[in-house]
Structure 1
Amino acid sequence: MDNNRKINILLVDDRPENLLTLEAVLDSPSYNLIMANSGEEALKQVLKQDFAVILLDVQMPGLNGFDTARLIHGREQSKHIPIIFITAISQAVENVNQGYAVGAVDYIFKPFNPEILKSKVAAFAKLYEYQQQINDQRQLLKKRSIELAAANAKLQDMEKELLQHNNNLENLVREKTEELVLANKDLYQSQERFQKIFASSPSLIAIRSLIDGRYIDVNESWIYYTGFPYDEVIGKQTGMLHLMYDNCDTTQDLDLQKAIRNERIHYTTCDGKERIGLLSTEAAEIHGEHCIISVITDITERERLEKELTRLDRLNLIGEMAAGIAHEVRNPMTTVSGFLQLAKSKQDMHLEYIDLMLTELNRANEIIKEFLTLAKNKTSDRKPQNLNDIIEALYPLIQAEAVLSNKSVHLGLSECLPLYLDEKEIRQLILNIALNGLEAMSLGGKLTIKTYSADDCVTLEIQDEGCGIDRDVLEKIGTPFFTTKDTGTGLGLAVCYSVASRHNADICIQTSDTGTTFSIRFSA
């Protein structure tokens, strides 16, 4: 989303002085405040443009606030816009209920608290901004998918053209001696064209012998993606990329098999990282030797973007649900808690029953807090501070947990750049990942927590010595309500991803049968 794009907010009131008051309270360089002095004018504005939130007066001549809200939400293109009623007159319960019935998200009485109103509007503006970012990412992903499909189709056309030239070459060899000169010329042009395609292709292309499997040549994209030095590849007779299909534990030389078309495979780079690609192969005769030309279109980044977009959609959904749960449950909980406290002071029931009920209410309130951590409109108290200070303050707690299970914790903290952090959220992120790491290890295991700075970024690494994470589980990491524990809620890592998103940080996971490393990279 364009950072310079202002967020539209519609202010509707038939009294100019009220509109001026709202404009003064909400004045911000991030907002485009649009005012309407009647319900009819508000409807015209909604037809012209989209809004993050509408502040609507109830009592207006002509079309009142309730009728205006009903017409706005009755239109498909504007039914999603949040409406906050503001009134100094219609404070009766039936008026409030009517306001919520026509789709309002809040009902505020005048005189209102300016800071509370600003916070509520800021929350809806932030949610609108996140939704616009998701739409922008979805459009970018769609554009990149189309570009990738076009590039892949072009490459396949080039392969067909190359095969056609080889067939032409075989026919020309059988012609008279006079035609051999022309055939040699065509062959040279064909080879030159193939070399250009081979060298400039964005896909990984390798030529291997069908006789002994050795690598005859690889292009620059193959070297770039795999990280293997060219001199170490040429002449090797065994597959170096450990190609394998999905859900297959054994590797084989898939790139020596004939007539594969866009098969989804996994391959391993020089530094042991696993990437994803689409494999196509074609048999060809080059300089009299039977060969296989293999082409791998790398789709690792595309799949990562698709998974990230899916995860953001789910986090957005759970955030909205969490806010709704908190709104609906906290009010009756507060009432019940108040009556229980009153009953306790009057000693109208057994104290142990009251204490038990208060404990359960507090437990339910903690669960709601965990839901709210996922909410997109969560208030963040970020300020400049050192990540190492937060880790050192948590170290005794993590160490004590490790000692109880006969495990250990090692710190490897390097000097780091200061970051804008919400200390409570970062503490929660570190504890969630560290405690998961301790649970994943057997007796005697060591948990290592490291920090370091590089390229204007600060990286936090939490590494365990567990048995690793299965591929099927790894793809679902961070999805709300997904858990492998018998008693888990499936919100711990989802909270971590939500905290990282609010801090503009990325979470990367590397796992094997000797352990798992969570890397959280913050932009300084």
Structure 2
Amino acid sequence: MLEHMINNTTGTQESLHRSPEPSQRNDVHKISILKKANILIVDDRADKMLALEAVLEHLGENLVKARSGKEALKCLLQQEFAVILMDVSMPDMDGFETAALIRKRQQTEDTPIIFVTSISDTENQIARGYSLGAVDYILTPIVPSVLQAKVSVFVQLFKKTEQIKIQAEQLRKIEEAEHQRKLAETADRLERETKRNRFFTLAVDMLAIADFNGYILQLNPSWEKILGYSESELKAKSGIELIHPEDHLQMIAQMESLRAGKTCSFEGRYRRKDNSYCWLAWTAAPFASEKLIYIFARDITARKEAEEKIQKLNEELQGRVSALTEINKELEAFNYSISHDMRAPLRSMQGFARALLEDSENKLTPASQDFAQRIVNSGRYMDNLLQDLLEYSRLSLMELKLCNVDMESILNEVLVHVENEIQSKKAEIIIKRPLLPVLSHSTTLKQILSNLVSNALKFVEPGKTPRIEIWSEQIPSGVRIHIQDNGIGISPDYHEKVFGLFQRLHSSHTYPGTGIGLAIVRKGMERMGGRVGVESSPGNGSRFWLDHQDPA
């Protein structure tokens, strides 16, 4: 802070209207160009790394992979990252230890960390994660759209922060270059012109000459216009009297540099006559032989207020991310609870309706019997729906331990389970052996195969004999299982939508079901680190494929 206020400067009207130099225009153009944000994925398992890459590649950002905590720390020494997705369970150095080391380094202490793990979400684990500064703690596999949304928030936050830094630096360089140019012109003219020349009178920016003690000797009218003080009041005050208390030390350091013969640039808050504060950006050049300081200043209050608004918006955005995380957890718990608790009264309602039909059949009118039967049918549908919701919720919450699974035995159990339906529809089941073993969770895999086979038996045109082919093949990422049918098919527009909750393409009267079966299929495959997809067109059947890891 100047010990004595540096107020008015002089400059020619010609310099004020001159266009920026070409190099300055290029710098301004560069402000709008931001490189891709870096996202660090830390996981020692290639399959989980591949799954996260597949989810996040749609964001179009730069994905950096590290297979250990040490490798992640090396990456953080070389690059800045918008967000870190880190597994908890890793050899040598786990995710918590890595996060602790990241937080100890000043450059990375504020980098957002999302723990993505399959470890049970006990309160101790979660508490430890958040105590290390984690912004989220989620179990894999996660819902891709949710992960994309969460990561996008931190990517956008990082980009906005980087953009502010770039803009501030570019503006500072442009203003400094402009200040230096105008100061040079001012110094040349001040030697020949009077104290009240046209430059001082007409300059829009704040120009001044001060002594080495910080008292203003000469200033232009812009100082009075911006700060509200008269010329005599400004010449009677020192800079230390007008500078904001929080900027005192910086001002003193700038004055020491000026006395040492160094040109300085500084941004500080100055008190107006009405006791409000404004931001001034100034550049000062000392002339040691004359013991004078030539000053060029500009009011940047509007720019600073805009930066403050952006900062507040970013803080609000972070708060919304935290709130969204809590809401997601509450919704999962609510879904499981409501699905579980509603089944008991629903079964009672079904039981009483059946008893009414069995015990009072002869006493009821045909209309009453129809009403009671509708209650039974509706209760059965509702019970199936709640049971599917429970299965979906369990897949999200339960811990899945993967092991080598014999596909032959698993498929035989599934076919025995649906044997009555196969026989009633005289379905043709073709299994192309051998079926390759996979790394999977046997119970979850049975449920997935059962849902797909049941759909293949269900979604066929009336009077058409179902035909189902099942085979497996080796692919670069592991083993792919195919289930192909000759059913009604699915339009390409719905290939992704059919895997969502409650997504039905037909009415329940035409093809019964709850609209949750394929959502369970996708959730189960994601929880096992695999993928599911479909190839189909209307009238040409469907081929569903399941990608599994190779058995160890």
Mark yes or no: TM-score above 0.5: no
TM-score by length of 2: 0.37
Q: Which of the pair has more CA radius of gyration?
A: 2
TM-score by length of 1: 0.39
